[in-house]
Amino acid sequence: MDSFKEFPTTPVSPAHDAAAVTPDDAAALAEVSRALYVGQAGDLAVTMAGGQQVTFAGVAAGSLLPVRAERVRATGTTAGAIVALW
């Protein structure tokens, strides 16, 4: 049973879906993320929901980045085991 199902989803509420991410320079994520989990350390190159391209350098394994990303780019990404949460 999900007692919270009737509450609206907002940008600050917990994620309700997740998907493994394969970095790709052209393909957008299925949904704009609420956060990205990084399971293997490295750099994470993303295109933000606002269109800016940024690289998070030296992201530690097990990090949860609260970012609204529309794409995880292959070029510049060395991190692995990435999961998008939305």
Specify if 78 maps to a domain.
Answer: yes
In a domain, 57, yes or no: yes
**Share of residues in the chain with pLDDT > 70 (%):** 92
Average pLDDT, the chain: 93
pLDDT tens for residues 28-64? 999 999 999 999 999 999 999 999 999 999 999 999 9
Whether 13 has a pLDDT exceeding 90, the answer reads no
**70, 47 in Cβ contact below 8 A?**
yes
Q: How far apart are the first and last CA of the chain?
A: 20
Question: Is 2 inside any structural domain?
Answer: no
Residue 36 lies in a domain: yes
Our CA dihedral for 53, 59, 63, 64, rounded to 10 degrees, sits at -10
Q: Is residue 63 one of the residues assigned to a domain?
A: yes
In a domain, 1, yes or no: no
Name the domain count of the chain: 1
- The domain in which residue 32 lies consists of 18-85
**54: which residues sit within 8 A by CB, 6+ positions away?**
45, 46, 48
Query: pLDDT grade, residue 4 (50/70/90)?
Result: low
Q: How far apart are CA 83 and CA 86, in angstroms?
A: 10
